[in-house]
Structure 1
Amino acid sequence: MTQRVALATVMDRLAIDAVITGYAVAVDDGAWSDYGALFTPDGRADYRGAGGVEGPAEETARWLDESLRLFPVRQHLIVNRRIELEDLGGYTGDRAEVRADYLNPMCPARKTAGGSGADGPDRADDGRTGSAAPDFVAGGRCTFELRRAEPGWLIRTVTVHEKWRRTPGV
């Protein structure tokens, strides 16, 4: 492997890592246009393994937006990333697979006193008042299939396999 090929491989790995991080941030921030921009035009997401839906990225973004409104505070930590690049005889191809574990703590909206209604407005507990502990935590594994495109690496598919979950009172 030449230095040029080695450098290109490292650059691909860094770019893929940035896409996976961008995915987690987009979901956590509810930035659905950013989420959609991470996918190929035919990109799909499969959340059935975590109790969700499967379909085109645009449709799953709408489902995520609706479902995650219950949890305005969320943090997807995507770790233990294993990146496999397509090998074309010593040169990196245009396909990659990433298998990574995730940990996802989430806090639901809370009622605060002194708001407009009798119970106050919904708000997320920011950890500075009340309990900082999440009410819902899940963990599992994501598999991402990526393709190199004109703008760079994009997600072709993401499949989520929840392995465990902890909910309030459990």
Structure 2
Amino acid sequence: MTQRVDLSTVMDRLSIDAVITGYARAVDDGEWADYQALFAADGRADYRGAGGIEGPAAEVAEWLAETMRLFPVRQHLIVNRLLDLQDLGGYPGDRAEVRADYLNPMRLEGAANNENSAEGRATAPNFVSGGRYAFTLSRTGNGWRIRTVTVHEKWRGAADSLSAR
């Protein structure tokens, strides 16, 4: 591989990482237009593995907007990312797969948690889940976009029962 190809591969990896991070931020911040913009025109999301729906990104964004109203505070982390970039004989292709674990703490609306920090914020979320995402991405005229995302929830529980004392 030449240095130019190596640099192109690094740039692709950084761009794909930015899409995955943008996905987490859009969901956590309830920015559903931003969420949809991360997907290819025919992009789909599958949340059935976490009790949700599967369908076109726009349809799933509407479902998420309604469902996430139950959890006004969200801050999930996408970690342990394993990226497989298509290799065309030493040159980067236009497809990629990412498998990544997630940890998803959320606070229920109107939750009764009387343990507050000095700033008045509750110190522990009410609900937490973890699992793995499987993303497929494609290079488009607008950069890397998600073609599919599938959520595989592995566990969930009340955060109060999981917190250290």
- The two structures have a TM-score, normalised by structure 1, of 0.88
State percent identity of aligned pairs. 68
Supply the distance in 1 between the matched residues of 2:123 and 2:12 (Cα, whole angstroms).
Answer: 38
User: Residue 40 of structure 1 corresponds to which residue in structure 2?
Assistant: 40
Q: Report how many aligned residue pairs link the two structures.
A: 158
Supply the distance in 2 between the matched residues of 1:5 and 1:111 (Cα, whole angstroms).
Answer: 52
Residue 156 of structure 1 pairs with residue 156 of structure 2: no
User: Residue 138 of structure 1 corresponds to which residue in structure 2?
Assistant: 129
Aligned partners of 2:95 and 2:138 also within 8 Å = yes
User: Residue 89 of structure 1 corresponds to which residue in structure 2?
Assistant: 89
User: Residue 10 of structure 1 corresponds to which residue in structure 2?
Assistant: 10
User: What letter matches 1:18 in structure 2?
Assistant: A
Supply the distance in 2 between the matched residues of 1:169 and 1:162 (Cα, whole angstroms).
Answer: 19
Structure 1 pair 66–10 and aligned structure 2 pair: CA distance change class (3 A): same
User: Residue 74 of structure 1 corresponds to which residue in structure 2?
Assistant: 74
Question: What SS does structure 2 have at the residue aligned with 1:52?
Answer: coil
Question: What SS does structure 1 have at the residue aligned with 2:110?
Answer: strand
Residue 19 of structure 1 pairs with residue 10 of structure 2: no
Residue 106 of structure 1 pairs with residue 93 of structure 2: no
Question: What SS does structure 1 have at the residue aligned with 2:90?
Answer: coil
Structure 2: any 5+ residue segments left out of the alignment?
A: none
Q: Note the aligned Cα RMSD (angstroms).
A: 1.8
Aligned partners of 2:111 and 2:126 also within 8 Å = no
Q: Deviations over 1:111-166 (max 9, x none)?
A: 79xxxxxxxxxxxx985326311100000000000000001000000000000001
Question: What SS does structure 1 have at the residue aligned with 2:102?
Answer: strand
Return the offset for 1:108.
1.4
Q: Deviations over 1:65-104 (max 9, x none)?
A: 0001010100110000000000000000000000000000
Structure 1: any 5+ residue segments left out of the alignment?
A: 113-124
